[in-house]
Amino acid sequence: MTIFYKLKWCFRDWILSGALFLFPYIDFLFSTVFHWQATIMGPSDSPYQGGVFFLTIHFPTDYPFKPPKVAFTTRIYHPNINSNGSICLDILRSQWSPALTISKVLLSICSLLCDPNPDDPLVPEIAQIYKTDNSRYTKMAKDWTHKYAM
């Protein structure tokens, strides 16, 4: 199955699942379906509550055998997400499986927002604050959410 048809099926499955937090767009500069944009809402049980976060998804030509590159375009204060929007999440690296869907990837990212992993940070300074002064971390995350995602 070519990548085009795989992405077409991925998009069809997304529509059938009712996952309203993802919408693809075509990058007209490159006229390709390999670039998508996703939107996730800040989980209600997190300091990101009420925020609207945008992400880009870039599919490699050998998808689904290689993971997509997913990055936040909305700034976010999180130990596992750096200032470039890169995300430290095992399923986007060593634990990738062709059986994973984009919906599952986005759900895992939402879960990461609720439950950061300070032991595998992209931003050690934020991880340290999360571990030692959680109320300060929560305040900073809420402040950034209000500033950049609302």
Residue among 15, 97, 91 nearest 64 (CA): 97
- Select which of 10, 88, 110, 114 is catalytic: 88
Residue 88 annotated to the active site = yes
**Cα three-residue angle 145-124-119, rounded to 5 degrees:** 100
Residues annotated as catalytic are 88
